[in-house]
């Protein structure tokens, strides 16, 4: 089969090397004669896998020792409930920055547990969609924490500033940007991310929590979302998604081999520059996000003539460029170019786009 590049927003492309290794060891993992997905999470073999994955993840993000890493179920949406249930304590309100679809979804869930003070950060700059700088975010006095989403997967909007809000506890949904660039973990109280974009397959969610924030969970917090319970049980209070955890471990090793987060950051920048460059150079394609807030992971773009959308999708698919259809709430196209997407994939896409414009423009 000829080369396929998968631009899916998640579950998303995984490094080919990782898939091949998983394939090779699928039925006989480390000479055990069984698959890693068939062994007990409590046995020393799997605990070895689990600990190594955690250590590699810590190394990659240089996670300080006063932060715990939890391997959870429930996805990003699980954490929309997990964050308030763990962080509210005796407070009844929290600040929520609304910068797009996922931040707004977090607000909706939080309303079940508290009164969110919603900070609408969406603005228009020179006719383009943008986000208010952090210094203009009006935090309230009585908030238990501040929640925001640094990369809006659907809107293609990124907030790249590093938060600096004094003692305020910052919780952030890094689902579609974790491990794509260096990150100062110490600025956050909680960082969480569903695995299915930059970490591994769906079914696993990572939570990084500062240890002094443990012990505050609401009585009604389900145990499987309770950071303290998860931490006390080394993320094995209930059966963890072992195969996803193992695969995440392979992805972390792969990323270390690429030179880690600093090295992938540079490649991610090149990929984004190439794709936005082609979009900006033509009147045939358009991206309406202000340059300062353009996502390097999810690049939505529209064709000037939407009547060509269908043929664009058919022809790109035939050329091995898959999953370019934009999210149903936005329409148009979207190319998700996470860590596993090589520069060659973005080159293939931009070559196709230029050629498509030549033929249909
Ligand atoms: N947050 C962000 C930024 C996302 O992109 C997504 C899923 N695409 C979610 C949350 C929801 O994640 P999940 O489906 O794992 O619950």
What is the ipTM metric for this complex? 0.99
Q: Which pair of tokens denotes residue 85?
A: 């249930």
Global confidence as pTM: 0.98
Please indicate if the annotation marks 120 as binding a ligand.
no
Domains and CATH numbers, the chain: 17-257 (3.40.640.10), 259-360 (3.90.1150.10)
* Measured distance CA(227)–CA(210) in Å, rounded: 10
Considering the candidates 68, 122, 132, 197, report the single residue annotated as catalytic: 197
The pLDDT of residue 353 is above 90: yes
The pLDDT mean for the chain works out to: 97
The mean per-residue pLDDT over the stretch 301-311 comes to 97
Contacts of 156 (CB under 8 A, 6+ apart): 287, 289, 294, 295, 298, 299, 300, 334
Assess contact for 250 and 22: CB atoms under 8 A: yes
| Each residue's pLDDT tens digit, 23-35 | 999 999 999 999 9
* Measured distance CA(306)–CA(328) in Å, rounded: 14
253 noted as active-site residue: no
What is the predicted pLDDT for the residue at 287?
Answer: 97
What residues line ligand 1, using a CB cutoff of 6 Å? 10, 75-77, 102, 149, 153, 173, 175-176, 194
| Each residue's pLDDT tens digit, 66-87 | 999 999 999 999 999 999 999 9
Residues of the chain with pLDDT > 70: what percent? 100
Three-state SS for 60?
helix
| 77 CA → ligand 1 middle, Å | 6
The pLDDT of residue 1 is above 80: no
Q: How confident is the model at residue 111 (pLDDT cuts 50, 70, 90)?
A: very high
Determine the atom of ligand 1 nearest the C-alpha atom of 196: 15
DSSP for 87-110, please give it: H-TT--EEEEEE-SHHHHHHHHHH
* Measured distance CA(278)–CA(213) in Å, rounded: 45
Contacts of 141 (CB under 8 A, 6+ apart): none
* Measured distance CA(114)–CA(145) in Å, rounded: 11
Q: How confident is the model at residue 291 (pLDDT cuts 50, 70, 90)?
A: very high
| 247-279 b/e (C-beta count within 10 Å ≥ 16 → b) | bbbbbbbbbeeeebbeebbebbeebbebbbebb
Q: Which pair of tokens denotes residue 196?
A: 């299915």
* Measured distance CA(289)–CA(275) in Å, rounded: 14
| 88 CA → ligand 1 middle, Å | 22
């Amino acid at each position: 089969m000829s080369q396929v590049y998968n631009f899916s927003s998640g579950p998303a492309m995984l490094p080919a090397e990782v898939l091949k290794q998983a394939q090779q060891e699928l039925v006989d993992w480390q000479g055990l004669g069984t698959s890693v997905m068939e062994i007990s999470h409590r046995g020393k073999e799997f605990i070895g896998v689990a600990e190594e994955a955690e250590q590699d993840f810590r190394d990659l993000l240089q996670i300080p020792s006063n932060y715990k890493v939890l391997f959870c179920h429930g996805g990003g949406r699980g954490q929309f409930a997990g964050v308030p249930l763990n962080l509210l304590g005796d407070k009844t309100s929290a600040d929520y920055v609304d910068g797009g679809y996922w931040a707004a979804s977090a607000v909706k869930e939080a309303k079940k547990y508290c009164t969110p003070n919603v900070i609408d950060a969406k603005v228009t700059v020179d006719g383009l969609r943008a986000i208010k700088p952090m210094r203009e975010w009006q935090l309230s006095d009585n908030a238990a924490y501040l929640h925001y989403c640094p990369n809006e997967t659907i809107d293609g909007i990124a907030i790249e500033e590093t938060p600096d809000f004094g003692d305020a506890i910052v919780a952030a949904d890094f689902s579609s940007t974790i491990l794509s660039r260096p990150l100062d973990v110490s600025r956050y109280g909680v960082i969480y991310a569903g695995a299915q974009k930059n970490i591994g397959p769906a079914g696993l969610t990572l939570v990084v929590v500062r240890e002094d924030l443990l012990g505050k969970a609401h009585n009604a917090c389900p145990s499987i979302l309770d950071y303290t319970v998860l931490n006390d049980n080394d993320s094995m209070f209930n059966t963890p998604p072992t195969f996803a955890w193992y695969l995440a471990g392979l992805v972390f090793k792969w990323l270390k081999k690429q030179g880690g987060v600093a090295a992938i950051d540079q490649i991610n920048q090149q990929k984004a520059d190439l794709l936005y460059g082609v979009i900006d150079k033509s009147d045939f394609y358009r991206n309406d996000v202000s340059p300062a807030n353009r996502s390097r992971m999810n690049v939505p773009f529209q064709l000037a003539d939407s009547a060509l959308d269908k043929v664009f999708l058919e022809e790109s698919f035939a050329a091995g460029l898959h999953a370019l259809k934009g999210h149903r709430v936005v329409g148009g196209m979207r190319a998700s170019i996470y860590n596993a997407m090589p520069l060659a994939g973005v080159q293939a896409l931009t070559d196709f786009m230029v050629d498509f414009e030549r033929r249909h423009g």
